[in-house]
Structure 1
Amino acid sequence: MHLKHSTTVLPVLLAWLLLSGAALAQLKEGTEQVPLHPMELSYNASMDKGISLKGSARRILEKRDDGTWRFRTDVDSFIADIDETLIFRWENNQVVPLRYRYELSGFLIKTRKEAIDFDWDTMVVSGHHEGDRFSMALEEGALDPMGYQLQLSQDIKAGKREMEYRVIDKGDYDTDRFAVVDEEIRRINGDEVTTLKAEKVRDSDSKRRSLMWFAPERDYLLIRFLQVEPDGSEYELTINQASFDR
């Protein structure tokens, strides 16, 4: 995730932040395969950096006729639009990515594209990032920039409190770590909701914080996300509406 350009930070955050969740299956560690269920979530977003900017995002999870799944994010904001899609298999309660596509475009913004293709038969992953092509060995359990978000929500629902993922992004592997750090009562749309507060684990000298609130009583939905930048500015995401097909 890139936060170097303040003019694009809101839509980029929206694409990354919708940890979707959804936690749509009744998962417990060690249980048998549990099916996902189609869903549609919408979020409101705001940016506080001396001005007020707002945007909206929709995330959809749907099963395809061939048994694979499509996970899609559409972001619409004053600054830019994002179209992000993942095709994946759901096996043994794990996301197995097959094809990832990302495009950011907008007014006075350079279009950015990324593509990742996973070949699990030959254990090779290839693609391109902003025109630079890559091909490298595929690690067992590797995820893409979208698939690990779904995996995180499912793992928290499964009872895990510390998570680590190998994520392929910009033609290389990153190791992303998360931890559940607290339980809090949050007020959402007038209701008090018990949540699990999770945080992305960063280096001790990092001044950036990424915080997420999941609601166990509401299928572990991500109901709030807050990112605090080194300069003190904040970017917030709150759930607006959710629907599921069971």
Structure 2
Amino acid sequence: MRTLLTIALLLQALAIQANPLLPYRADYQVWRGDSELGSGYYQLERLADDHYRLGYQSQVGWLFLSDTRTETSEFQMASDLVRPTLYRMKRSGTGPDFKAWIRFDPEQGRIDAQYRDAKTRLPWSEPRFDPLSYQQQLRLDVAAGRTEMSYPVIYKAKEREYRYRVVGEDTLTLPFGTLETIKLERDRGEGSSRQTYLWLAKAHHLVMARLIQYKDGDVQAELKLTKLTFTTDPTLRASRP
């Protein structure tokens, strides 16, 4: 594992090569410990000019439980800042189904959000993100050479702060193949029982290669990259290491 100074220099070099706004689809296996629970994917689409849509879907099952989730975030790029406009989420499966949405409205000077039956209205300011758009901003920030990041995120109709830092580099062997990656840790604060790590693929425009979440030292969920396709440049289609 390299020092943060060396990593910062590496990220500055990556900024020349990586294009986190290149549309793609990334497919993942979802695991819990040694058990494969299902699958999921992320998909980034360019809608028009500087407008994009990032989507996520997962289908998992554990014993007699099932969970299907679909999320989308539409956003506009303003220089190097992600400016979300509309976020939607729906969940179905075992237990009650529910939906959530967030609307960012700078013209009206407000942010409206609903999660299940809880609603809130916040004064508009930026930067502010939804649970998907901050992930896009994270990739852009790492590509720009940043090693410590903080994001105000609207989640479950409440505003929270998500903090991340680059902690090193790893070579991963995944279903997709062997990848050189940048490793990040979510800073949840001292004493938290949860830990979250993610790895971004250096040679593949910093698409997420792996994510793992722990609680009290036990793995709660893990995503492993299985397939990656970039959709605008024919030379990058069905990309492989």
Give your verdict on TM over 0.5: yes
Q: Tell me the TM-score normalised to structure 2 length.
A: 0.81
| 1:37 equivalenced with 2:22 (yes/no) | yes
By how many angstroms is 1:53 displaced?
4.1
> How many residues are aligned here?
213
Where in structure 2 are there 5+ consecutive unaligned residues? 1-13, 234-241
The answer to which structure has the higher strand fraction is 2
Counterpart residue number, 1:74: 57
| 1:179 equivalenced with 2:165 (yes/no) | yes
Paired with 2:176 and 2:137, the residues of 1 have a C-alpha distance of: 29
Where in structure 1 are there 5+ consecutive unaligned residues? 1-25, 29-33
By how many angstroms is 1:99 displaced?
0.5
By how many angstroms is 1:189 displaced?
4.0
1:157-216 deviation line (CA, Å, top 9, x unaligned): 111100001111222211110001112222234854322111000121112110111121
The one of 117, 122, 125 aligned to 1:139: 125
Cα gap change, 1:233 to 1:27, in 2 (>3 Å): closer
Say if 1:157 and 1:216, in contact at 8 Å, map to a contact too.
no
Equivalences for 1:220-239 in 2 at 5 Å? 220-230=206-216, 232-239=218-225
Q: Tell me the TM-score normalised to structure 1 length.
A: 0.79
Q: Which amino acid aligns with 1:69?
A: Y
Say if 1:86 and 1:99, in contact at 8 Å, map to a contact too.
yes
DSSP 3-state at the match of 1:217:
coil
DSSP 3-state at the match of 2:218:
coil
By how many angstroms is 1:52 displaced?
2.3
Paired with 1:104 and 1:44, the residues of 2 have a C-alpha distance of: 19
Counterpart residue number, 2:70: 83
DSSP 3-state at the match of 2:96:
strand
Identity %: 27
Counterpart residue number, 1:203: 189
1:198-241 deviation line (CA, Å, top 9, x unaligned): 10001211121101111212222211111111162342111011
Cα gap change, 1:35 to 1:230, in 2 (>3 Å): closer
Paired with 1:178 and 1:70, the residues of 2 have a C-alpha distance of: 23
Counterpart residue number, 1:13: none
